[in-house]
Amino acid sequence: MESPPSQHDGLMKEIEKIPEFELLDVSVVKDGTHRDQTKFKAVVEREKDEAIAVVSSKYALVQMREVFGQVLSRIDQDINGEVLYYGGRGQLHIFPNDSRVGICVMNSVDRSSAIRILFIGKANGATVYLPRVREYKRLHVGAPLSEVRNYSEILTDAQETWETIADRLSKTPLTDELVTEIKETVDTKALAERVDEFVRYNLDRYLRKQLTLWDLLLTVLKAAAESRFKSKVHRERRLQRLSSMLLAFALKS
């Protein structure tokens, strides 16, 4: 009997579904005349002609399959995860099987971001992107990720960072002053209203349990995750920005 496919194999198959990309020459049309733009190239999915982005002719195109596949091939432990892709932007989420804390590898071919490795956690129905502790970031030059060797060690670091932050913020009582500042920190009226609802209707208040800053942050991120998005990539970009704002504020408190 054949053994079931491993999570590595399943993730690799998802990675292989991501399109490959190529650079095509760019020209502009004016008065029926085509003029080549030698300083620029168009990024397109291979064998298609719709431009995802226009980049400098010196831009080094790095295939998303190459980046994500390289990371996956260097992890020697049991994992689970997810591959996200939309319109030239992608993410690879990797978690050890016994943990909800892991890493997110990001890449794009539309110039929206360099290659990055972030620490992430799954909690309360949302992805929490941790502050930039030992974050890896690399522009599209040279051999990407060549100096990153031990991804299992990076996963361990992610777990330790998560525990430190969660422990600290779980011990921070939620005061009226913090609630006001959080409402000023979030960037939409809907989330500000969600903060008010959390404080007003949370059952823990009636059980005389102290609400914490961590409780509120997770609630806000869950509310943001439940909004409508064009794709999962758009949702995760939103959660990344919101996590950054909220945790930057919370860790200063």
Q: What mean pLDDT, rounded, does the chain reach?
A: 86
Q: Give the contacts of 226 (CB within 8 A, at least 6 positions apart).
A: 125
Categorize the per-residue pLDDT at 77 as very low, low, confident or very high, splitting at 50, 70 and 90. confident
Q: Give the contacts of 138 (CB within 8 A, at least 6 positions apart).
A: 114, 115, 116, 144, 145
Q: Look at residue 182 in the predicted model and tell me its pLDDT.
A: 94
pLDDT, tens digit, for every residue of 214-251?
Answer: 999 999 999 999 999 999 999 999 999 999 999 999 98
Categorize the per-residue pLDDT at 183 as very low, low, confident or very high, splitting at 50, 70 and 90. very high
Regarding predicted confidence, which is higher, 98 or 127? 127
If one counts every other C-beta atom within 10 angstroms of the C-beta of residue 57, the result is 12
- Phi/psi of residue 48, nearest 5 degrees: -125, 165
State the average pLDDT over residues 63-76: 87
Categorize the per-residue pLDDT at 136 as very low, low, confident or very high, splitting at 50, 70 and 90. low
> What tokens were used for 126?
């949302």
In this model, does residue 69 exceed pLDDT 60?
A: yes
